[in-house]
Amino acid sequence: MTRQPFPETGRDWSDLRSEMQALKTGDVDWQNGRVPLYVFRSDQTTYDVGKQAFFDFFSENALGRNRAFPSIRKMERDVLDFGLSLMSAPDDADGAFTTGGSESILVAMKMAREKKRAGKATGDGRMNIVAATTVHPAFDKAADLMDMEVRRGAISEDGRADPATLRALIDGNTVAIVGSAPCFPHGVVDPIAALSDLALETGIWLHVDACVGGWMAPFFTMNGRATPTFDFRHPGVRSISADLHKFGFCPKPASTVFARDGEDLARASFVSGPWPNGRFETSTLVGTRPGGAVAAAWAVLHHLGVEGYRDIARRLAEMTDAYVAGIEAVPGLKMHAVPDLSIINFGSDEVDIFAVADEMSRGGWLPGLTNAPRGMHAMMSLFHDPARDDYLTDLRRAVEVVRKDHRQTSTQATY
């Protein structure tokens, strides 16, 4: 492989920008709804508000919020208070602003582990996390970093975690039970009420991974759409992770993690030992964090308010319903689960859905895929709404092509 040499001389921005824009021509057209994940947008005005706020605080470092940047401290506190209120947290709850769902999950699992260490493990072997097969791989990452294992239980026919199956996996070294709101593969919220009962019965920490739904599901509920509850109203829930940069529609990187008891959040903080500069403490995994992400989240939340988020929730629900109806109208296709929010997953008993995905790729669409069951998957945002008719037309054509050719092989991979 030829290594790119370090540039000898500098270049003007206009020249650099031209090259960068040229590089983008090979990207999938996400702005017109052809990418099923990675990017989230509500409307252009909100996008512009977040972008401007981010760049107004482009240089500030959230690590220095207590010493140098009280503006960042104030905005971060406001954002956390908004989230705690939205998730029905008790008065002594607290939260932390992180760079993403994986970091929020790492912090939550550290809280759970330290709580377990403060008690007494009664089993042999490694500490473990118990969750459904649909739990996000970020929990495997957290377990790997903290020398734990993830024990996965089978799901019910509706795609949700099965509390009885999880109960069988629990032992004296179980650090946490995890439920998803919703799970990424199927877009359904696990039975948090039943998991809460299980957590209280066994005395085990219950974490709810609401990285996808945390900042949006409450507004579905406010609009009268039947959406399962997942938050601190369930007494067994000890922590919740929720991404601002997904369905909070804030610029990346921005996520939150909340603890029912503020002392648990403090328990998970990192504090350095002796070094020449004295005490060093962070409540998150990283040190430096972009102040722009905090400012942008603060600005977007204030810009939209409850009224704005309820309007987005209404439009997301209507769009999702329209996609589901359109997909189910294609002969041979079926939904793998009824979505609680805006994640969909569908497949077929008549044609190879991965071969259908091949055809969609040829039409300029990036398919999201699941292996078990084999399905086409999308975590949809509002820029998918204008693309719906084109998507459904191309999907119907792709199914017909595969059916006619009797094709049962594919080049698609899930990642």
Percent of the residues in the chain that have a pLDDT greater than 90, as a whole number: 85
**pLDDT digits 0-9 by tens, 123-144:** 668 999 999 999 999 999 999 9
Average pLDDT over residues 166-178: 97
Q: What is the mean pLDDT of residues 20-25?
A: 95
| Helices and strands, counts by H and E, the chain | 12, 13
Q: How confident is the model at residue 267 (pLDDT cuts 50, 70, 90)?
A: confident
CA 354, CA 344: separation in Å to the nearest integer? 16
Please check the confidence at residue 76 and state whether its pLDDT lies above 90: yes
What is the token pair recorded at 374? 């084999």
- Rounded to the nearest 5 degrees, what angle is found at the Cα of 309, between the Cα atoms of 305 and 313? 170
How many C-beta atoms lie closer than 10 Å to residue 140's C-beta?
16
Confidence of residue 268 (pLDDT cuts 50, 70, 90): confident
Non-local (6+) Cβ contacts of 23 within 8 A are: none
CA 141 – CA 49 distance, rounded (Å)? 34
| pLDDT, tens digit (0-9, with 9 covering 90-100), for 311-347 | 999 999 999 999 999 999 999 999 999 999 999 999 9
Q: What is the pLDDT of residue 412?
A: 63
For the stretch 34-44, pLDDT in tens is: 999 889 999 99
- The answer to whether 376 touches 357, Cβ cutoff 8 Å, is yes
